[in-house]
């Protein structure tokens, strides 16, 4: 039985009580490992109010110091108010994360793991700089790549020390093959999955009516759904711009999510979206962050999911969730998305996304028969990468 350590982001906890796509993926692996027990997993997570215990896993909670919290507040204030930085999450937990990786480095140095999994950020290699960790864990380091490389703080060179890079799509695998100049590093793609038992649930008439009442939805009109992190790259601004030039007002749009999940980070985009929504004819509803176990209700209720990412989407969990939920879907032909979608998915070109969204929505909203046919066609299709069980066994095999 492999003894595995998983190093997380350092600012969102596992279990994912404050959201987070990567944190959900880690938690799903832990839950499946409780069923099948092919390894023992130690997850290094930032401290959380809720602690969890498992048979085949252990969560090692790392508590940030008061000093790192204070320094982060100062850095965040300067980034937001003085320097007007855009990607504020990079500045909100910087000192906390550096402290987290130092503490994790000390902890893994005391242990003897068979594999060290770094989740989604090469800055996590900081934890391997402690003493002889690189030597101690030679040929045992797995980098789990969820995105293309962004800020590396000089850690990109350490990718060459990985035993294997497991990527969430062939698109990301190919990107990392371009970054790596070592012939010793292995590559493997394991596409993201979600818990089909959660998203295959049926929504009762009472549950739907309760949500309609709670959210002030006009039940006479179709329900459109945008789900995910509220950020520029997800295309939410382009969606609202398209709706602003749409003639019809006969629809509801539910916007599910927050800019940075369960953090206190706020940015100007939220305010911009709220202001834009005021001048749109349709019924625009911002729900905020929704509990993961409640998400299926919104997908089941939706007549149409719209996830118009304008960046190279690696392997969107929101897209996977919508497909597993059998929800009709409009998305864009970017990154790893073409690897995920089914035949009924409407794929749009990013270069002219506002007009394409406008024309597509105008057609579907003014042609209820066509929208209904799309919904029925979608219900007959399945997510091509199988179940969460398949994901677990494929990921375990990739660790060998």
Same domain, 294 and 310: yes
More confident residue, 364 or 76: 364
In this prediction, residue 170 has a pLDDT band, given cuts at 50, 70 and 90, of: very high
Q: Report whether 322 contacts 346 (CB < 8 A).
A: no
Q: What integer is the mean pLDDT of 344-354?
A: 97
Q: What integer is the mean pLDDT of 327-350?
A: 97
Which strand (E) or helix (H) includes residue 210?
helix 205-215
* pLDDT confidence of residue 326: 96
Q: Report whether 42 contacts 78 (CB < 8 A).
A: no
In this prediction, residue 271 has a pLDDT band, given cuts at 50, 70 and 90, of: confident
* pLDDT confidence of residue 264: 62
More confident residue, 104 or 90: 104
Structure tokens belonging to residue 174: 């190919």
> DSSP state, 342?
-
Same domain, 300 and 203: yes
Same domain, 119 and 254: no
How many other C-beta atoms can be found within 10 angstroms of the C-beta atom of residue 70?
11
Same domain, 22 and 112: yes
Which strand (E) or helix (H) includes residue 307?
strand 304-307
The span from the CA of 199 to the CA of 290, in Å, is: 14
Same domain, 10 and 152: yes
Residue 110: C-alpha distances to residues 124, 132, 352 (Å): 18, 11, 54
How many other C-beta atoms can be found within 10 angstroms of the C-beta atom of residue 282?
22
- Whether 312 has a pLDDT exceeding 60, the answer reads yes
- Whether 260 has a pLDDT exceeding 70, the answer reads no
* pLDDT confidence of residue 81: 87
> DSSP state, 82?
I
Q: Report whether 225 contacts 296 (CB < 8 A).
A: no
pLDDT tens sequence across 29-66: 999 999 999 999 999 999 998 888 999 999 999 999 99
- Whether 352 has a pLDDT exceeding 60, the answer reads yes
Structure tokens belonging to residue 351: 């270069």
Please report, for the domain that includes residue 213, its CATH number.
3.40.50.2000
* pLDDT confidence of residue 262: 52
- Whether 87 has a pLDDT exceeding 80, the answer reads no
Same domain, 105 and 246: no
Same domain, 148 and 75: yes
In this prediction, residue 265 has a pLDDT band, given cuts at 50, 70 and 90, of: low
Same domain, 259 and 314: yes
Where on the phi/psi map is residue 6: left (φ > 0), alpha (ψ -120 to 50), or beta?
A: beta
Q: Report whether 195 contacts 28 (CB < 8 A).
A: yes
**Considering its fold, how many domains does the chain have in total?**
2
- Whether 75 has a pLDDT exceeding 80, the answer reads yes
Same domain, 34 and 151: yes
Q: What average pLDDT is seen over the chain?
A: 94
- Whether 267 has a pLDDT exceeding 60, the answer reads yes
More confident residue, 28 or 151: 28
Residue 361: give the domain boundaries. 196-379
At residue 57, φ and ψ (nearest 5 deg) are: -155, 160
Same domain, 145 and 228: no
- Please report the DSSP string for 126-159 in residue order: GGG-STTHHHHTTT-EEEEE-S-----TT-GGGG
Q: What integer is the mean pLDDT of 69-86?
A: 89
Q: What integer is the mean pLDDT of 368-377?
A: 97
The residue length of the chain stands at 400
Same domain, 208 and 334: yes
How many other C-beta atoms can be found within 10 angstroms of the C-beta atom of residue 218?
14
The span from the CA of 258 to the CA of 337, in Å, is: 22
Q: Report whether 330 contacts 346 (CB < 8 A).
A: yes
């Amino acid at each position: 039985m492999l003894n595995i350590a998983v190093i997380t982001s350092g600012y969102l906890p596992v279990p994912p009580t404050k959201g987070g796509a990567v944190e959900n993926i880690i938690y799903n692996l832990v839950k499946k490992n409780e069923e099948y027990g092919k390894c023992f997993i130690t997850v290094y997570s930032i401290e959380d109010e809720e602690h969890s215990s498992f048979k085949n896993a252990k969560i090692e909670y790392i508590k940030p110091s008061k000093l790192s919290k204070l320094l982060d507040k100062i850095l965040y204030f300067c980034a937001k108010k003085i320097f007007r930085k855009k990607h504020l999450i990079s500045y909100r937990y910087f000192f906390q994360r550096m402290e987290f990786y130092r503490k994790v480095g000390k902890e893994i140095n005391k242990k003897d793991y068979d594999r060290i999994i770094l989740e989604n950020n090469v800055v996590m290699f900081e934890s391997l700089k402690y003493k002889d960790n690189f030597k101690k864990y030679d040929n045992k380091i797995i980098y789990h790549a969820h995105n293309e490389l962004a800020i590396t703080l000089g850690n990109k060179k350490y990718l060459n020390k990985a035993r294997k890079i497991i990527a969430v799509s062939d698109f990301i695998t190919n990107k990392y093959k371009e970054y790596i100049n070592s012939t010793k590093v292995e590559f493997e793609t394991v596409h993201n999955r979600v818990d089909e038992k959660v998203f295959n649930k049926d929504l009762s008439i009472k549950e739907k009516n309760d949500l309609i009442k709670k959210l002030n939805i006009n039940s006479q009109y179709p329900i459109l759904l945008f789900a995910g992190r509220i950020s520029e790259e997800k295309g939410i601004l382009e969606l609202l711009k398209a709706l602003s030039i749409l003639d019809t007002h006969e629809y509801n749009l539910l916007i599910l999510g927050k800019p940075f999940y369960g953090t206190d980070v706020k940015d100007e985009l939220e305010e911009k979206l709220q202001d834009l929504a005021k001048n749109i004819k349709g019924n625009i509803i911002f729900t905020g962050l929704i509990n993961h176990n409640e998400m299926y209700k919104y997908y089941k209720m939706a007549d149409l999911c719209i996830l118009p990412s304008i960046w190279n989407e690696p392997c969107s969990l929101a897209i996977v969730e919508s497909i597993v939920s059998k929800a009709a879907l409009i998305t864009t032909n970017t990154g790893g998305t073409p690897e995920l979608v089914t035949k009924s998915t409407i794929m749009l070109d990013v270069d002219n996304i506002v007009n394409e969204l406008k024309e597509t929505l105008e057609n579907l909203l003014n042609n209820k028969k066509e929208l209904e046919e799309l919904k029925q066609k979608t219900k007959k299709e399945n997510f091509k990468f199988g179940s969460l069980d398949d994901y677990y066994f494929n990921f375990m095999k990739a660790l060998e």
